[in-house]
Amino acid sequence: MKDPNNTRNTAPRRGSPLWIYISAVIVLGALSSAAALAELTGPDVDALLGNPVFWILGCFIVFGELRPIITPGSTENNGATTSTTFSFAALLYAGLPIAALLQAIAVITCGIFRGRTPHRIAFNTAQYTLSLAAAQLVLALFGDRATPTELWVPGGPDLPAIALAGTVYFLCNDTLVGAAVALHERVSLVKALRWDIAYQVLVHLALLGLAPLMVVAMDRSALFVPLIVLPFIAVYLNASVSVRREHQALHDGLTGLPNRKLLIMRTEEALNELRRPGGRGGLGSSRRRRTADGPHQRAGLFLLDLDRFKEVNDTLGHPTGDRLLQLVAHRLTHSIRPGDLVARLGGDEFAVLLPTVRDEAAAREIAARLRAALSEPVRLDGMSFDLEGSVGIALFPDHAPDFELLLQRADVAMYNAKEARTGVEVYSPGRDRNSPARLSMLGDLRRAVDRGELELFYQPKVSLHDGQLVGMEALLRWRHPDKGLLEPAAFLSVAEQTHLMRSITHHVVDAALSQAAAWWRDDLTVQVAVNASGRDLLDTGLPEVIEAGLLSRGLPAAALQLEITERILMNEPAYASDTVGALAELGIPLSLDDFGTGYSSLVRLKRMPVEEIKIDSSFVRRLAESADDAVIIRSIVDLVRTLGLRSVAEGVEDPQTARLLREMGCDAAQGWHFGRPMDAATATDWLRRRMERAPEPAA
C-alpha cells in the first residue's frame, strides 16, 4: 500500500479529518511503543546489546527500509520493503519491544535520509508499531511471550499461529495506511484498499512467510543470517534489471522522457479514472478537482512540434540537434503541473498529458506557458537559437473517447496551428480533414475525377488602360450529381493534403491546355491561367505533364500561366524545388495570387519567374470606403511597377473601383464588373463577341 503522502511531503491541514486520523494513529502508536518498551528489563537490555544477532537484524531492517525491492509498476513509496521479514522475525524471536524498537530506528533513519516530514515519519513509525502489536496479541493468545532473555524458536505445530499473526499484521498495516489514503483521496476505505490489494497480499505472503525460517537460522548461528539474505539480494538484482529494462522499453533513449507506449498507458489510466463514478480524476494520488458548476473534469492531450527544427539539424548537424531536443525536454518537464506527463513521440514531436484539466481555457493557458518556456533564447556552440513550437489540443470527452482519437485530433489541431501561425489551436471538427464527412467527400471526389464531373469555368482579366484582354483564369468547379455545382472552397481543401491533389492538378492542366488549343485554333489567342498549390510545386512530374501537353497541342509556353498563392513563397522547399526551376526553363510564367495576405520576401519575389502580381480582393473590395486599403493598394502597385511586373486587381465589381485602380496605375483587373466565371461554351462566345468589336478602355 502506498504512503498517504507520496505526492506531497507536507503536513495535512490542521483540523482536517486526515490530520485528526494521523494524529490519533501517532498517539496510539506512541502509547503502544511506550507500553512495550516499559516491559524491557535490565537483563533484556543487556541481552539485546550483547547478542550480535540483534545488531545484524537491525542493520537488515534499516537497509530493507532504505532500499525496497522496486518491481515494474512500483515506486519507492509502494515497493516491497524487506524490513517486513526481519521485523516480523524479531517479533517472533524476541518479542514486541525489540521488533518495534528496531523497526522504529529503521523508519526514522530512512525518513531523515529521504528528507521526509516529522509527521510522516511519526505516522509510519506508529503504523508499524501498531501492526506489530496486533500480531503480538495473536501470538500471546497461543502462548508465545518471547523476550530478549527468553528467545522463542517456533516449530512445525506453531505455523498456524504464525500464519494468523502474519495475517493480522498485514490487515492492520494495510488498513492503517488505506484509511489515510482514503481520507487523502476522499474515497471509501474499501476502494482505497482495493487499488493494489492483490499485489500487497502476494508481497506480504512472501515476506512474512520467510520470517520463521529467519528465526530458525538466527537461533542456530548469527553466521546463518547473511545466508538467508542471499535470496533477497538475488530478488533485488532481478527486480533492478526488470525495472531497468522496463524503463528502457517505456522511455526515450535520448531525452529520458516517457515514450509513446508509456503515454498510452498513462492516458488510459487517466481516462479510466474520469470514466469511473467518483473516480480520482488523475494520475498518482491527486484528488479530482471539482469546478463550481459540478464535478465533471476533462483530460487533455497536447501534441507539440518544434518549428523549423530541421534547419538546425541540416545546418549544425544531428549532435547539436540532439542536445537541443534534450534542452527542450528539460524545459517542458519543468513547465508542467505536478501529475502531468511529457512524452517524446519521435523526432521533434512531443506530447503532454493533462490527467485533469478544467476546460478549454485552462488547457490553452497551460499550452501558452509551455510555448513561453520554449521561447527563451538558447545558446549552443556559441550560437543563439530562438525556439518556437506549435501546439494542438484535444480534450476528453469533448473531442475523443480514447487515446488514439485524442492523439489524432491533437495532431489535426497542431497542423492547424502551424498553418494559421497561431501557435496554439484546439481541435475543431470543422477544420478536421479526417472527419467522416470529409472522408466521404474525398471518396466522392476521387470518383468525380474518373467520371469527368470536374470542369473548368473561365473569368477574364482585362487591361485597365486600353480594355485589352490580358488572359482568362481557369476556375475549377465540381458538378456534383446530388449537390449541384460546387466551388473549390467546398471541396478542394479535402484533396490538398492527399495524393488526389496531384490527379486533380493534372486533370485541370490537361483541360486548360485543351481549351487553350481550341481557342488558338479559332484565332482566339488568349493566355489561360491555372491555380497551383504548394504540393503541386513539389511534384517533379508536373513540368513533364505541362511540356507534353504543350507539345501535343502545338502551343507555346506563354499560352499557359500558373497562379500560386503568396504564402507558398514562405515555404522554402516549394520555393527552391526542382519543379520551379523546370517550369522556368520551359518558359511557363507565374502569377502571384492573393498578394498582401502573406509575408513575401522581396529577394525571392525578384528571383522567381513571376510576370504578374494579383492584389487580393479583400483590399480591392474596400477600396472606395477604406483609406488604409487605398494606401496598401497604391504601395503594392508602385512596388510591382518598380519590379517590372504587371499588377492585377482581383474582385473588381463596380465601375468606381475600376476607375480608382486605373488612376493608381494598376495594370489590369478581374471581377464581376468585367465578366463572371463562365463555362467553356459561354466563355468561347464571349471571346468571339469581344474580338469582333474594337476594345474599349475599361471604365
Per-residue pLDDT reduced to its tens digit, 264-301: 989 998 888 888 765 544 333 333 333 333 346 789 99
Integer angstrom CA distances of residue 457 from 47, 478, 649, 650, 681: 105, 10, 19, 16, 9
Which pLDDT belongs to residue 291?
34
* Alpha-helical runs (H) found in 612-697: 617-620, 627-642, 655-664, 680-692
Place of cell 503541473: 337
Do 186 and 334 belong together in one domain?
Answer: no
For residue 430, pLDDT over 50 is answered with yes
CA-CA distance, 96 to 366, in Å (whole number)? Answer: 53
Which pLDDT belongs to residue 283?
36
Q: Is 3 within a domain?
A: no
Confidence of residue 669 (pLDDT cuts 50, 70, 90): very high
Q: Which residues contact 298 (CB under 8 A, 6 or more apart)?
A: 274, 356, 357, 358, 359, 363, 395, 396, 397, 398
Domain of 639, CATH number, reads 3.20.20.450
- CA-based angle 375:344:402, to the nearest 5? 110
Q: Is the dihedral of CA 337, 339, 340, 343 positive or negative?
A: positive
Q: Is 9 within a domain?
A: no
- CA-based angle 172:173:177, to the nearest 5? 115
Do 409 and 484 belong together in one domain?
Answer: no
Pairing of strands 454-463, 668-670: antiparallel
CA-CA distance, 257 to 116, in Å (whole number)? Answer: 26
What grid cell was written down for 647?
A: 499588377
Q: Is 468 within a domain?
A: yes
Do 200 and 270 belong together in one domain?
Answer: no
Q: Which is nearest to 494 in space by CA: 510, 478, 479?
A: 478
What grid cell was written down for 475?
A: 476556375
CA-CA distance, 384 to 270, in Å (whole number)? Answer: 39
Do 426 and 450 belong together in one domain?
Answer: no
Do 115 and 195 belong together in one domain?
Answer: yes
In angstroms, the first-to-last Cα distance of the chain is: 86
Which pLDDT belongs to residue 180?
85
Do 237 and 335 belong together in one domain?
Answer: no
Q: Is 1 within a domain?
A: no
Do 503 and 412 belong together in one domain?
Answer: no
For residue 685, pLDDT over 90 is answered with yes
Among 416, 431, 446, the domain boundary falls at: 431
Among 390, 413, 431, the domain boundary falls at: 431
The 8-class DSSP code of residue 16 comes to S
298 strand-pairing partners:
357
The string of DSSP letters for 334-381 reads: TTSPTT-EEEEEETTEEEEEEEEES-HHHHHHHHHHHHHHHTS-EEET
Q: Is 5 within a domain?
A: no
The string of DSSP letters for 201-224 reads: HHHHHHHHHTHHHHHHHHHH-TTH
Q: How far is CA 691 from the centre of its chain?
A: 61
Is-contact 531 560, C-beta < 8 A? Answer: no
Q: 188 by DSSP, 3-state: which?
A: coil
Q: Is 69 within a domain?
A: yes
Q: With pLDDT > 90 as the criterion, what percentage of the chain qualifies?
A: 19
Do 207 and 221 belong together in one domain?
Answer: yes
CA-CA distance, 178 to 194, in Å (whole number)? Answer: 9
What are the tens digits of pLDDT across the range 159-170? 888 899 889 988
Is-contact 360 301, C-beta < 8 A? Answer: no
406 strand-pairing partners:
none
Which pLDDT belongs to residue 294?
39
Full domain range(s) for residue 52: 17-250
What grid cell was written down for 224?
A: 546463518
Q: Which is nearest to 92 in space by CA: 67, 57, 124?
A: 57
What are the tens digits of pLDDT across the range 301-327? 999 988 767 666 666 677 877 888 888
For residue 2, pLDDT over 50 is answered with no
Which pLDDT belongs to residue 211?
81
The 8-class DSSP code of residue 268 comes to H
Q: Which is nearest to 248 in space by CA: 263, 234, 262, 266?
A: 262
Phi and psi of 400, rounded to 5°? -160, 150
For residue 561, pLDDT over 70 is answered with yes
Q: Which residues contact 14 (CB under 8 A, 6 or more apart)?
A: none
- Per the structure, the count of domains in the chain is 3
Bond from prior residue into 401 cis (ω within 30 degrees of 0): no
Q: Is the dihedral of CA 54, 59, 65, 70 positive or negative?
A: negative
Window from 5-9, 74-78, 458-462 with minimum mean pLDDT:
5-9
Whole-model pTM: value is 0.47
CA-CA distance, 406 to 301, in Å (whole number)? Answer: 7
Window from 78-82, 144-148, 153-157, 280-284 with minimum mean pLDDT:
280-284
Do 316 and 409 belong together in one domain?
Answer: yes
Q: What is the mean pLDDT of residues 7-27?
A: 76
Q: What is the mean pLDDT of residues 546-562?
A: 92
Do 586 and 672 belong together in one domain?
Answer: yes
To the nearest 5 percent, what fractions of the chain are helix, strand and coil?
55, 15, 30
Q: Is 8 within a domain?
A: no
Selected residue with higher pLDDT from 647 and 628: 647
Give long-range contacts, CB 8 A cutoff, 24+ apart: 435-444.
Answer: 438/494, 441/491, 441/494, 442/494, 442/495, 442/498, 442/500, 444/480
Q: Is 343 within a domain?
A: yes
Which pLDDT belongs to residue 70?
59
Do 134 and 268 belong together in one domain?
Answer: no
Integer angstrom CA distances of residue 453 from 424, 438, 477: 38, 18, 9
CA-CA distance, 528 to 456, in Å (whole number)? Answer: 11
Is-contact 681 517, C-beta < 8 A? Answer: no
Q: Which is nearest to 74 in space by CA: 8, 127, 2, 178?
A: 2
Among 431, 462, 492, the domain boundary falls at: 431
What are the tens digits of pLDDT across the range 418-427? 877 788 899 9
What are the tens digits of pLDDT across the range 104-120? 888 888 888 878 888 88
What is the rounded average pLDDT for all residues in the chain?
Answer: 80
Is-contact 652 460, C-beta < 8 A? Answer: no
Q: Which is nearest to 266 in space by CA: 326, 342, 319?
A: 342
Domain of 345, CATH number, reads 3.30.70.270
Do 420 and 457 belong together in one domain?
Answer: no
Q: With pLDDT > 70 as the criterion, what percentage of the chain qualifies?
A: 81
Integer angstrom CA distances of residue 645 from 392, 589, 594, 666: 40, 11, 15, 11
Place of cell 455545382: 485
Q: 591 by DSSP, 3-state: which?
A: strand
Q: Which is nearest to 648 in space by CA: 568, 593, 584?
A: 593
Q: 506 by DSSP, 3-state: which?
A: helix
